[in-house]
Structure 1
């Protein structure tokens, strides 16, 4: 059975506000069930281990997806989410691919997490796919730190500056992810209309723009995995 690692944020605090952040729940649950339904085995990890924080906005009725509802009745999935492995205990050799969900948290912790940056390089250098969605691509900032020039000419999808402004969070984050990635040489491509699904594939790297892109990014990862390692 092929194994996929999912790396989740452990960060919950926004800047200049009492509002909380963390994992955007649908960006975990949509890919989770894509992988489970396709027959993959999943391991969940986070910098601090245990239960990651969940962005309260992602649990509001207007943001609830079918996979969110499925998750609420899935004791196995809830137990896995509540007991993530500490990231520094993870070894890339044990997995066939890695997926980074978003929520704003990654722009604080995974962006500067050396364990995460080295892990991503280990996957890519071993010919294994890496996927990230929404603010998950912030994890690539530490990859750039580990290997300067990594982001130059990479084509990436990520939560856009326009979307950040539209959700009213641009004053609560340390930087705008799209602009940050572009300043390091990446080409960030976005949907013509904000909040529509958009993914990019650049070699072994798959990235998605926003919450609606989480499921499609997972499907793209499955497709790439089956091309590179053979069908399940």
Structure 2
């Protein structure tokens, strides 16, 4: 059995365009999938558009947002070292992964949507039938991905992502470069959201998995691992039938 490989893509952006607030990766949206993958013995690569340092949104380190898992990793020097030395997307674009996972944080709204290498990685991953996952603002990385037939990846797909009401609750409506919820809908997606804002919501549509917000991090990790297990089991059956 070959080793399962997961690529987690995170932002390099550490500040809103206004300069009013720092931003970056929302830590729990990385730590939960990272822990779940490590628990299974999977190989995890952390990459970002430019490589190098991954800024972490200070909001995600506050006592009410920093959960046990995230706290453990934040206090782990070797993990912090990983965040200082992410690979660039150019370095990993031709590697094969079982899952490509877009972690969120407001920083992603600036460097994910128009990154051509990211778009290429996602399109190829999706069209090869392998898993594509995105959580919270990371879903912005799906916005401009086109498939080989010229259609947008998310057209007609059930998905979720951070919604506009939540943006208001976070006090960032005036800071963000665009309205993520409206943009996802404008691309023709079948956008879903939790009945109560800031609660967990994960949507699976074929080999695409999306989570609504940071509170979906834990469930998102479980669902991704579950879908991976399903895919692995199916490919085993196919291989056995071929022999």
Q: TM-score range by the shorter chain?
A: over 0.9
Q: Quick check: 1:15–1:171 contact (8 Å CA) kept in 2? A: no
- Relative to the length of structure 2, the TM-score reads 0.90
Name the SS for the 1:206 alignment partner.
strand
Q: Quick check: 2:123–2:146 contact (8 Å CA) kept in 1? A: no
| Aligned residues between the structures | 232
The one-character-per-residue Cα deviations of 1:56-108 (angstroms, maximum 9, x if unpaired) are 11111111111122103433322222210011111354321111110011111
Q: Quick check: 1:6–1:44 contact (8 Å CA) kept in 2? A: yes
Choose from 130, 133, 137 the match for 1:135: 137
Return the index of the structure with the highest Cα Rg.
2
Q: For structure 1, which segment, 129-138 or 33-42, has the greater mean C-alpha deviation from structure 2 after superposition? A: 33-42
Choose from 184, 188, 203 the match for 1:185: 188
For the pair 1:167 / 2:173, whether they are aligned, the reply is no
2-side partners of 1:17 and 1:163: how far apart?
Answer: 21
Q: Counterparts of 1:53-92 in structure 2 under 5 Å?
A: 53-91=55-93
What's the offset of the Cα at 1:14?
A: 1.1
Q: Cα 1:92–1:67, aligned 2, differ >3 Å: closer, same or farther?
A: farther
2-side partners of 1:20 and 1:76: how far apart?
Answer: 24
Q: Counterparts of 1:80-159 in structure 2 under 5 Å?
A: 80-91=82-93, 93-144=95-146, 147-159=150-162
Where does the alignment leave 5 or more consecutive residues of structure 2 unmatched?
237-243
1-side partners of 2:110 and 2:146: how far apart?
Answer: 15
Name the SS for the 2:143 alignment partner.
helix
Pairwise CA RMSD = 1.8
What's the offset of the Cα at 1:32?
A: 1.0
Identify which of structures 1 and 2 has the higher relative contact order when contacts are C-alpha pairs closer than 8 Å and 6+ apart: 1
Q: Cα 1:160–1:139, aligned 2, differ >3 Å: closer, same or farther?
A: same
Deviant stretches of 4+, over 6 Å: none
Q: For structure 1, which segment, 77-86 or 96-105, has the greater mean C-alpha deviation from structure 2 after superposition? A: 77-86
For the pair 1:210 / 2:195, whether they are aligned, the reply is no
1-side partners of 2:94 and 2:142: how far apart?
Answer: 16
Where does the alignment leave 5 or more consecutive residues of structure 1 unmatched?
none
For the pair 1:42 / 2:68, whether they are aligned, the reply is no
1-side partners of 2:93 and 2:169: how far apart?
Answer: 38
